[in-house]
Amino acid sequence: GAGVSQSPSNKVTEKGKDVELRCDPISGHTALYWYRQSLGQGLEFLIYFQGNSAPDKSGLPSDRFSAERTGGSVSTLTIQRTQQEDSAVYLCASSSARISEQYFGPGTRLTVT
C-alpha cells in the first residue's frame, strides 16, 4: 500500500523567505511526527500530532516554526523567515498508535541560501 509521502523532495529558498513542507501520512494513522536531520547530525524531534492536535511541540527550535494537521491526515510544517541554519532534511513519520512503529517518508531536503 501507499507509504508516507512528502513534498517537495527538494526545496531551495533564499534567506528570509517562508517555506511550507507537506506530509501525507499512511491512511488511518492517527499519530504523525516531524523530525529533521541537519548535516552530520542525528535525528532531531520537532513536533508530534495525535489526530489534529499537537500535544508535544517541545522540539520546535523557534517561533518561526509552526505546524498544523487537518482532517487527521495531511500535515504542513511552515518555517517563516528562513535562516541558513534551517537547512536540513525534514522527515515526517506516521504510526497507527503512539506506541507503534513509525513509518518514515522520504524527506524534504531544504537548502537556505
Partner 1 sequence: ILNVEQSPQSLHVQEGDSTNFTCSFPSSNFYALHWYRWETAKSPEALFVMTLNGDEKKKGRISATLNTKEGYSYLYIKGSQPEDSATYLCAYMDSNYQLIWGAGTKLIIKP
Question: Which residues of this chain interact with partner 1, rule CB under 8 A?
Answer: 42-43, 45, 48, 56, 91, 93, 98-107
Sign of CA dihedral 109, 80, 73, 7: negative
Sequence-distant (6+) residues with CB within 8 A of 104 are: 4, 91, 92, 93
Between 14 and 99, whose beta carbon lies closer to partner 1?
A: 99
For residues 11 and 97, give the distance between their C-alpha atoms in angstroms, rounded to a whole number. Answer: 31
**Nearer residue to partner 1 within complex by CB, 72 or 103:** 103
- To partner 1, the closest distance from the beta carbon of 78 in angstroms equals 22
Shortest CB 18 distance to partner 1, Å: 25
